[in-house]
Chain A
Amino acid sequence: MAEAPLIEIRQLTKRFGELTAVDSLDLTVRAGEIYGLLGPNGAGKSTTIRSLMGFVRPTAGHAGLLGGTAHDLALRARVGYVGGDVVLDRGLRAGELLRWYGDLRGGVGRARVGELCERLALDPGRRIGQLSSGNRQKVAIVQAFMHDPDVLVLDEPTAGLDPLLQRSVLQLVRDRRDAGAAVLFSSHLLPEVEDIADRVGILRTGRLVREDTIANLREIARHRLELRFATDLPPGLLDGVDGVAAVEVDGRTAQLVVDGSVAELVRRVAGYGVERIISHDDDLEDIFFTYYQAEEDAR
């Protein structure tokens, strides 16, 4: 028998007046799994997460975790949460806030907090209001991980972090997953989710339009690439390459749109002195252009 999922969202609908923010959403995350919730801004990611955390009440359906809901305090004690726009009490020192939150969770070891601060290079003696947004984000991350939660609910947790720290945070997430936690991770950036998620759901206007493994999603993702060559391109070099949807050549530079894998393209240009490959990781809307377009046309 399969283990019961640690996060279980069933037929979740949330309306704010006329606006339906989330529409009949089904989503489960099992122990030891990272679920990437992808979608452009306004797709309903935050509303889904806020329902799961008990901040807003579902209009219909159920948003549960650990076999109950976040309204059960004993269950909430086992959840780590990073909100979308992080605002922590500005007047407090980072260490004071972490101690306070630790006390609220029945006590968290100082050693664990110290270790996390060190790992993220966070000085707990500074006042939160005086920290840069990246450093404030670190405080939010430390408080979410410090009690070794069984469920992690992370709403764009790496926003505002530099790439190096982003890696540290993703590694923290992986460590928790490997220890058996269920992770719901929202983002509007495909590469990040690609890097970390075991399974991905794409949310659009409140509905889950696709749920799949990363490998399968890569097939439908669309990349914008810019290739810069050492010399002018031989005419016709980029014609008829598998997966290339559009090409525009201007002297030594080629702008391409590739659907799915870039393997064939790379094979074709090998030996022609590619100096730079620039990838434009545009908005999700853009990356899944074809897919969204098909959805739209179907209506």
Chain B
Amino acid sequence: MSSVTTRPALRVRPGIVLRQMLAERRRTLAWWSVSIAALAAIIGASYPTVKDFGSQLEELLRQLPRGVIELMGAGGGLVSPEGYLNSRFYSGLFPILLLVFGIMVAAWTVAGAEREGTLEPLLANPVSRTRVALERFAGTAVLLAMLTFVGTAVFVVLRGPFELTSLGVGRLVAAGVGVFLLAMVFTALTFATGAATGNKGAAIAAGAGAAAATYLVFALAAFVEFFGNLRWLSPWDWFLSPSPLTDGWTAWAVWPPLLVIAVAVALGTALFARRDLR
């Protein structure tokens, strides 16, 4: 006689994979937060000094060709709070830090875990591939959002001492959401490639390669007609022209990234659910 039984339907609380992932990355998140906060604070604290040089710099800027100014992220001038933050932080340093972090984590979610061999034992549990992939992508988004929040919060909280008061909180929030979505585009491409192929190297190459290529298009668009015609394809262009710091919320900074992210994640997850594990 066998004791094999029929058991009640399995009820597993959602979010277990996500919570586990966040718990495992507390320390990493803390270090990255400290670094980003420190960078933001240094850049913010330097603003009062830069402003004092203001008139001379603006003079210099007026003589530069339009493309160079855009490349510097200085469309809004260099010495206005928005122009300064845009050129020093939001048009390069901040998105690059975020997307490096995002690509690193996203490459691990499926492909990296598969390569280290931890994905298979996890999937021997009654949890679907789709759920593992989606919860881990959500986990990546949460971590990235936290880092974006830290960077943004530094400017919001220290607007007074940094003499950035003419810059509204609303614009800082818009810029934060914009830069988050920009980094999420490349994070999503990394995730999707890793999920679809199980190849961590390919995943990183896809995310980092797309980021570099589209940055190139954005940077050269003002000088080379060929790239100028392609600039609408570049997430950097969606986010930076015009910058939410100067223009507030723009549809381009929000909807195209969301669309790319949604399509990439849906495709990557669907392919992951069908393929062989490596």
Whether the pair A150, B125 counts as a contact (CB closer than 8 A) is no
Q: Chain A: how many interface residues by the 8 Å CB criterion?
A: 37
Stretch at the interface among A100-108, A110-118, A257-265, A290-298: A100-108
Cα distance, A83 to B118, chains bound together (Å):
10
Q: With A91-B24, A106-B11, A106-B12 given, is the CB distance from A74 to B121 under 8 Å?
A: no
The 0/1 profile, CB within 8 Å of A marked 1, for residues 1-17 of chain B is 11111010111110011
- Which B residues are CB-close (under 8 A) to A57? 274-276
Whether the pair A6, B117 counts as a contact (CB closer than 8 A) is no
Whether the pair B10, A56 counts as a contact (CB closer than 8 A) is no
- Which A residues are CB-close (under 8 A) to B116? 87
Whether the pair B1, A105 counts as a contact (CB closer than 8 A) is no
In the complex, whether B65 has a CB less than 8 A from a CB of chain A is no
Cα distance, A102 to B257, chains bound together (Å):
38
Q: With A91-B24, A100-B20, A103-B13 given, is the CB distance from A31 to B2 under 8 Å?
A: yes
- Which A residues are CB-close (under 8 A) to B121? 81, 83, 86-88, 140, 143
Cα distance, A171 to B7, chains bound together (Å):
25
Nearest CB of chain B from residue A125's CB, rounded to whole Å: 17
Cα distance, A105 to B120, chains bound together (Å):
15
Whether the pair B3, A179 counts as a contact (CB closer than 8 A) is yes
In the complex, whether B123 has a CB less than 8 A from a CB of chain A is yes
Cα distance, A73 to B10, chains bound together (Å):
8
In the complex, whether A162 has a CB less than 8 A from a CB of chain B is no
In the complex, whether B128 has a CB less than 8 A from a CB of chain A is yes
- Which B residues are CB-close (under 8 A) to A79? 124
Whether the pair A32, B13 counts as a contact (CB closer than 8 A) is no
Whether the pair B126, A56 counts as a contact (CB closer than 8 A) is no
Cα distance, A3 to B2, chains bound together (Å):
10
Nearest CB of chain B from residue A175's CB, rounded to whole Å: 11
Of chain A, the residue at the smallest CB distance from B13 is: A103
Whether the pair B125, A105 counts as a contact (CB closer than 8 A) is yes
Nearest CB of chain B from residue A111's CB, rounded to whole Å: 18
- Which B residues are CB-close (under 8 A) to A92? 24
In the complex, whether A160 has a CB less than 8 A from a CB of chain B is no
- Which A residues are CB-close (under 8 A) to B125? 76-77, 101, 104-105
Q: With A57-B276, A73-B127, A101-B125 given, is the CB distance from A150 to B4 under 8 Å?
A: yes
Q: Which of B4, B13, B126 lies in contact with A77, CB distance below 8 A?
A: B126
In the complex, whether A224 has a CB less than 8 A from a CB of chain B is no
Q: Give the size range of B's interface with the partner.
A: 20 to 34
- Which A residues are CB-close (under 8 A) to B50? none
In the complex, whether A233 has a CB less than 8 A from a CB of chain B is no
Cα distance, A57 to B274, chains bound together (Å):
8
In the complex, chain B residues 224-268 whose Cβ is within 8 Å of any chain A Cβ: none
Cα distance, A228 to B13, chains bound together (Å):
63
Cα distance, A197 to B120, chains bound together (Å):
26
The 0/1 profile, CB within 8 Å of B marked 1, for residues 51-95 of chain A is 001111100000000000000011011110101011111011000
Cα distance, A55 to B277, chains bound together (Å):
5
Of chain B, the residue at the smallest CB distance from A100 is: B20
In the complex, chain B residues 115-169 whose Cβ is within 8 Å of any chain A Cβ: 116-118, 120-121, 123-128
In the complex, whether A180 has a CB less than 8 A from a CB of chain B is yes
In the complex, chain B residues 1-43 whose Cβ is within 8 Å of any chain A Cβ: 1-5, 7, 9-13, 16-17, 20, 24
In the complex, whether A218 has a CB less than 8 A from a CB of chain B is no
Nearest CB of chain A from residue B18's CB, rounded to whole Å: 12
Whether the pair B16, A100 counts as a contact (CB closer than 8 A) is yes
Cα distance, A103 to B123, chains bound together (Å):
14
- Which B residues are CB-close (under 8 A) to A56? 276-277
Whether the pair B126, A6 counts as a contact (CB closer than 8 A) is no
Cα distance, A86 to B2, chains bound together (Å):
30
Q: Which of A81, A83, A86, A104 lies in contact with B127, CB distance below 8 A?
A: A104
Whether the pair A180, B277 counts as a contact (CB closer than 8 A) is no
Whether the pair B4, A31 counts as a contact (CB closer than 8 A) is yes
Cα distance, A87 to B7, chains bound together (Å):
29
Whether the pair B13, A83 counts as a contact (CB closer than 8 A) is no
In the complex, whether A50 has a CB less than 8 A from a CB of chain B is yes
Of chain B, the residue at the smallest CB distance from A181 is: B4
Q: Which of B5, B16, B276 lies in contact with A103, CB distance below 8 A?
A: B16
Cα distance, A77 to B12, chains bound together (Å):
11
Q: With A31-B2, A50-B277, A83-B124 given, is the CB distance from A77 to B10 under 8 Å?
A: yes
Q: With A103-B16, A104-B16 given, is the CB distance from A81 to B4 under 8 Å?
A: no
Residues of A within 8 A of B (CB): 3, 6, 31-32, 50, 53-57, 73-74, 76-79, 81, 83, 85-89, 91-92, 100-101, 103-106, 140, 143, 150, 179-181
9 inter-chain pairs at a CB distance below 8 angstroms, sorted by A residue, are A77-B125, A77-B126, A78-B7, A83-B117, A83-B120, A83-B124, A104-B16, A150-B5, A180-B1
6 A-B pairs besides A73-B10, A83-B121 with CB distance below 8 A are: A3-B2, A74-B126, A87-B117, A87-B121, A104-B12, A105-B125
Considering the complex of A and B, which 9 residue pairs feature the smallest CB-CB distances, nearest first? A87-B117, A180-B2, A77-B126, A81-B124, A56-B276, A104-B125, A73-B126, A31-B2, A180-B3
